[in-house]
Chain A
Amino acid sequence: MLISLFTTCYNDTLFPETGKAVVRVLERLGHEVEFRSAQTCCGQMHYNTGYVTDALAIMRHFLRVFDGAEAICIPSSSCVAMIRDHYPKMAAESGDAALCHQVDALLPRVFEFSELLVDKLGVTDVGAHYPHTVTLHTPCHALRSLHVREQPIRLLRSVRGLQLVDLPREDECCGFGGTFAIKNADVSVAMLADKIDCIRETKAEVCAATDNSCLMHIGGGLRRQQTGIRCMHLAEILAATAPAAMPGSPAR
């Protein structure tokens, strides 16, 4: 299958290893991956902060870029939630019938990374080897909007050498929330402190998730407090095949 990667703006800029890992995993499974270089962003930051006109322009750009793509893989649950939850409403509000049709045609072809693997491609064992203790953070958008909770767990359970430890209070937000982390930094950090308590309780070496935006927040706290716990996107764990085959991802 030809899979079109939407790596997302912040992964492109800050976490290129995640995009590379997605490419590695999908190619290893025998699929062809394309990267449409005109891609930018899904519009989530603008939409959630109230800049809906800007978000609409970004959405139109997204639709143009991914026109005709067979399957679009997105390694970020909140961006997928933005597309699924808000694109139809934005299109309807614009009063542009052609735009509504474009969105309707887009939605069935959009997949969060773990969703693509498990639900669309029917794979849980991607041949990964990662001999570490890992706990999984489930992003709020994955949990409550996409209902993607089991897929990453099944994928991680199939990784050789990996020990998966349950994260207590997994349904609680880590406190990121996009611009919330800046506008209400004190509350955001208080929420993060609770999340870090839960992560430390697991004694895991690595905290994984399907979304680097939560991990940027959690990892920023884990690092500042010198906990020695690393954050890693699910894709980077699944891309690891042998202890030395995968270049070390920077901790975050």
Chain B
Amino acid sequence: MIRVGDAARAPSFPVAARRALGNAQLRRNVRHATEVIRNKRAVVVSEMTDWQDLRDSAHEIKDHVLRHLDFYLEQFEDNCTRAGGRVHWARDADEANRIVIDIIRGHDEREVIKVKTMTSDETRLNVALEAAGIVPYETDLADLIIQLGEDQPSHIVVPALHKNRAEIRELFLRTMKLTALGPEPQDLTNAARTFLREKFLRVKVGFSGANFAIADTGSVCVVESEGNGRMCLTLPRILITLVGVEKIIPAFGDLEVFLQLLPRSATGERMNPYNSIWTGVRGGDGPEEFHVVLLDNGRTIVLADEESRETLDCIRCGACLNACPVYRQTGGHAYGSIYSGPIGAILTPQLQSMQHSTSLPYASSLCGACYEACPVKINIPEILIHLRRRIVEEKGAPLGERLSMKAAALAFADSSRLSIAQKLARAAQWPFKRDGQLSKMPGPLAAWTASRDLPAVPAESFRDWWKRERGKS
């Protein structure tokens, strides 16, 4: 079954957003965190003279890969296999989870340490693992905070962005069963380190996601800030990596483009502190067994729509979230998916064949800040409009909206009808009009007038003034 976490069961965006807007602490945390990252990003992007060229290159590389995805996937499989890796193909979330569970069970293991894998949130791997009697430990600090708090990620790069330091301290005290814990970042880091180190040294199976899978060498690349990823990737005997099929890049040399764009866009750093790239297995150095699970889970459905396939260009940097004025108000949970913000608004419904999460393409004022920030130049506003169009054409829009749009289209087809519509509006508004304003309207306009005045239709339209004043028509 194709699945994007629990998105199919999530409330619609306006409902979830309303709940988020009422959470003052969350809004404060989200605003502060996005502001910090945005400012850092602006500095390290402004120092690049070829930033726009890099964006173009990245877009072209991704476009090329998507046109020849079959070729590059097989090339990756050949080269990874030759280097001693084992490549598995998973059509959907359930199949991927089953493959992972079978590998772990095959070694009689009951625990796994995990890092940098949103894709496994997409497949709900942790739920499947626990059902199979296997205990997953998240080791990325933010993912650990989410796991301990039985919470949901709210940002693509900074999943615990909605939590502040005081909240994290309380969480650690409670869930790690500590008697004392200082308030400083150093104290929190030390607590997490003590908690995780023991697992790094004990657990035999590691699990990761991938930022890039490189076709011409069969290598996998993971970038991170903490080094916990490096531990997961090197200490366990068995390593399993789950990779969405769109993560393929043709050549090792292409990293030159992406490793300049990604850290600057994601965390405002010139380079990630840890860049792990590995190829298959090597005796006496790192894992003895390496599995790659290539996941489709709706990606080839997205690929089939030429108008919106560039959604798959995404390198999960989260720059569009930080730039988005909607995300900054609501945070990520309102999007009902692990993929939040503008990219989530286009990716989540498409992965689910536009059967679920169809309120998301409307969760944008189309201001364009996301497109401007995107390091791989995904034209998110265009795709949002395209998805709205698909919803309308599949009769998914509300009846009231369809009728209003039809009526407006009829009025706009002929200026004499527009004139009549103006006169009708002028006549119909009189019970609501006060001082030239409409402050309390019924129907869909109530959503506007609940917090904003609406100007009343004035006595004379421009066209009537022109006719009267200039005598032409």
Q: How far is B304's CA from A83's CA once the two chains are assembled, in angstroms? A: 28
Q: How far is B451's CA from A194's CA once the two chains are assembled, in angstroms? A: 14
**Shortest CB distance B471–A (Å):** 12
Closest-by-CB residue of A relative to B13 is: A184
B457 touching A45 by the CB < 8 A rule? no
What residues of chain A lie closer than 8 Å to B436, measured between beta carbons? Answer: 250
What residues of chain B lie closer than 8 Å to A14, measured between beta carbons? Answer: 455, 457-458
| B463 CB contact (under 8 Å) in A12, A50, A57 | A12
What residues of chain A lie closer than 8 Å to B177, measured between beta carbons? Answer: none
The stretch of A111-119, A158-166, A214-222 that contacts the partner chain: A214-222
B462 touching A20 by the CB < 8 A rule? yes
| B409 CB contact (under 8 Å) in A51, A175, A180, A181 | A51
| B452 CB contact (under 8 Å) in A58, A61, A187, A220 | A220
Q: Is A191 part of the binding interface, using a Cβ–Cβ cutoff of 8 Å? A: yes
Q: Is B397 part of the binding interface, using a Cβ–Cβ cutoff of 8 Å? A: yes
Within 8 A of B (CB), among A131-163: 140-141, 144-145
| A16 CB contact (under 8 Å) in B17, B406, B411, B458 | B458
Q: Is B183 part of the binding interface, using a Cβ–Cβ cutoff of 8 Å? A: no
What residues of chain B lie closer than 8 Å to A61, measured between beta carbons? Answer: 412-413
Q: How far is B363's CA from A199's CA once the two chains are assembled, in angstroms? A: 25
Q: Is A63 part of the binding interface, using a Cβ–Cβ cutoff of 8 Å? A: no
B415 touching A38 by the CB < 8 A rule? yes
Q: Is A48 part of the binding interface, using a Cβ–Cβ cutoff of 8 Å? A: yes
What residues of chain B lie closer than 8 Å to A185, measured between beta carbons? Answer: 14, 447-448, 450-451
A144 touching B392 by the CB < 8 A rule? no
Q: Is B437 part of the binding interface, using a Cβ–Cβ cutoff of 8 Å? A: yes
What residues of chain B lie closer than 8 Å to A187, measured between beta carbons? Answer: 14, 17, 21, 326, 329-330, 363
**Shortest CB distance B41–A (Å):** 14
Contacts A181-B448, A184-B362, A223-B437; A49 near B458 (Cβ below 8 A): no
The stretch of B47-55, B142-150, B383-391 that contacts the partner chain: B383-391
What residues of chain A lie closer than 8 Å to B444, measured between beta carbons? Answer: 182
Within 8 A of B (CB), among A157-195: 171-173, 175-192, 194
B369 touching A54 by the CB < 8 A rule? no
B473 touching A177 by the CB < 8 A rule? no
| A180 CB contact (under 8 Å) in B330, B364, B397 | B364
Q: Is B227 part of the binding interface, using a Cβ–Cβ cutoff of 8 Å? A: no
**Shortest CB distance B214–A (Å):** 34
Contacts A14-B457, A189-B451; A184 near B465 (Cβ below 8 A): no
B412 touching A35 by the CB < 8 A rule? no
B457 touching A13 by the CB < 8 A rule? yes
Interface residues on A, range: 35 or more
Within 8 A of A (CB), among B383-405: 385, 387-393, 397, 401, 405
B409 touching A58 by the CB < 8 A rule? yes
B391 touching A50 by the CB < 8 A rule? yes
What residues of chain B lie closer than 8 Å to A186, measured between beta carbons? Answer: 14, 17-18, 21
What residues of chain B lie closer than 8 Å to A58, measured between beta carbons? Answer: 409, 412-413
B451 touching A224 by the CB < 8 A rule? yes
A37 touching B448 by the CB < 8 A rule? no
Within 8 A of B (CB), among A190-230: 190-192, 194, 216-217, 219-221, 223-224
Q: Is B461 part of the binding interface, using a Cβ–Cβ cutoff of 8 Å? A: yes
What residues of chain B lie closer than 8 Å to A217, measured between beta carbons? Answer: 452
Q: Is B107 part of the binding interface, using a Cβ–Cβ cutoff of 8 Å? A: no
Q: Is A11 part of the binding interface, using a Cβ–Cβ cutoff of 8 Å? A: yes
| B458 CB contact (under 8 Å) in A37, A177, A190, A250 | A250
Q: Is A4 part of the binding interface, using a Cβ–Cβ cutoff of 8 Å? A: no
Q: How far is B204's CA from A85's CA once the two chains are assembled, in angstroms? A: 55
B385 touching A224 by the CB < 8 A rule? no
**Further 10 A-B residue pairs, CB within 8 A, beyond A37-B466, A54-B406, A221-B451:** A7-B462, A14-B457, A16-B462, A140-B368, A181-B365, A183-B362, A194-B325, A221-B452, A224-B452, A252-B453
Interface residue ranges, A against B (CB under 8 Å)? 7, 9, 11-16, 19-20, 35, 37-41, 43, 45-52, 54, 57-58, 61, 140-141, 144-145, 171-173, 175-192, 194, 216-217, 219-221, 223-224, 250, 252
Q: List 14 A-B contacts (CB under 8 A).
A: A13-B457, A37-B473, A49-B401, A50-B393, A180-B366, A181-B447, A183-B14, A184-B362, A185-B448, A185-B450, A189-B452, A194-B329, A221-B452, A252-B453
